[in-house]
């Protein structure tokens, strides 16, 4: 692959990630854009020198790689943060959510897998790092699909969880009421016995 083809491939992959980032959050694209800015400066310098294999071309590829890695980090961080928030809101209601979205428990496992893949990619160096970040693409796509489905079913899940909370409260209230009735009955019996004895 030529330097120009490698640069174009990195630009394409990074641009795809930026589109996903913009769907989740508009505030986190600046690190990627800064790297692109530096890359463009080196590309233009290489063009001005008519030297597409020299130091500036090499630096441009380095900045494009960092932009790509940053974009993967950001999109995964945004996806995982959003999924974590959703999970915390649904904590204790997995069975209720599973009735609405049967895949929910499997999704939790896939989210953990994506976290592990991301952590492993971040510790790689050199060419291994780009290969590891390329391997994140299916996880990013899968998390995007999971988020889409959870958002699609959000109202239905919310209603089911609210209904379960009401049922738990009603069950608790009924138990408390039963205990109070039993205590009052016992108290009345004790007062009756004390009245008979006294």
Predicted local confidence at residue 102, as pLDDT:
94
pTM over 0.85: no
Predicted local confidence at residue 45, as pLDDT:
79
Residue partners of 142: CB distance under 8 A and separation at least 6:
110, 114
| More confidently predicted of 103 and 11 | 103
Q: Are 157 and 149 in contact (CB under 8 A)?
A: no
Going by C-alpha positions, the residue among 61, 57, 71, 64 that lies closest to residue 11 is 64
Predicted local confidence at residue 141, as pLDDT:
94
pLDDT digits (tens, 9 = 90+) for 25-76: 666 667 777 777 778 877 777 777 887 788 888 888 888 888 888 889 889 9
Share of the chain above pLDDT 90, in %: 27
If you average pLDDT over residues 122-127, what whole number do you get?
A: 86
Q: Concatenated DSSP letters for the chain?
A: --HHHHHHHHHHHHHHHHHHHHHH-SSS-HHHHHHHHHHHHHHHHHHHHT-SSSHHHHHHHHHHHHHHHHHHHHHHHHHHHHHHHHHHHHTT-HHHHHHH-TTHHHHHHHHHHHHHHHHHHHT--HHHHHHHHHTTHHHHHHHHHHHHHHHHTHHHHHHHHHHHHHHHHHHHHHHHHHHHHHHHHHHHHHHHHHHHH-
């Amino acid at each position: 692959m030529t330097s120009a083809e490698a640069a174009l491939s990195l630009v394409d992959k990074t641009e795809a990630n930026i589109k996903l980032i913009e769907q989740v959050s508009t505030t986190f694209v600046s690190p990627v854009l800064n790297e692109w800015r530096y890359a463009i400066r080196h590309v233009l310098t290489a063009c001005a020198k008519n030297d597409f294999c020299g130091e500036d071309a090499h630096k441009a590829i380095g900045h494009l790689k960092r932009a790509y890695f940053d974009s993967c980090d950001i999109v995964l961080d945004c996806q995982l943060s959003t999924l974590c928030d959703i999970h915390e809101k649904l904590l204790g209601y997995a069975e209720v959510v599973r009735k609405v979205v049967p895949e929910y428990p499997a999704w939790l496992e896939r989210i953990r897998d994506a976290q592990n893949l991301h952590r492993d990619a971040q510790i790689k160096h050199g060419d291994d790092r780009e290969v590891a970040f390329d391997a994140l693409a299916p996880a990013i796509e899968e998390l995007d699909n999971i988020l889409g489905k959870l958002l699609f079913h959000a109202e239905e899940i919310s209603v089911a969880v609210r209904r379960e909370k009401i049922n738990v409260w009603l069950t608790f209230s009924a138990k408390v009421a039963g205990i109070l009735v039993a205590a009052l009955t016992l108290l009345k019996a004790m007062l009756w016995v004390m009245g008979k004895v006294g």
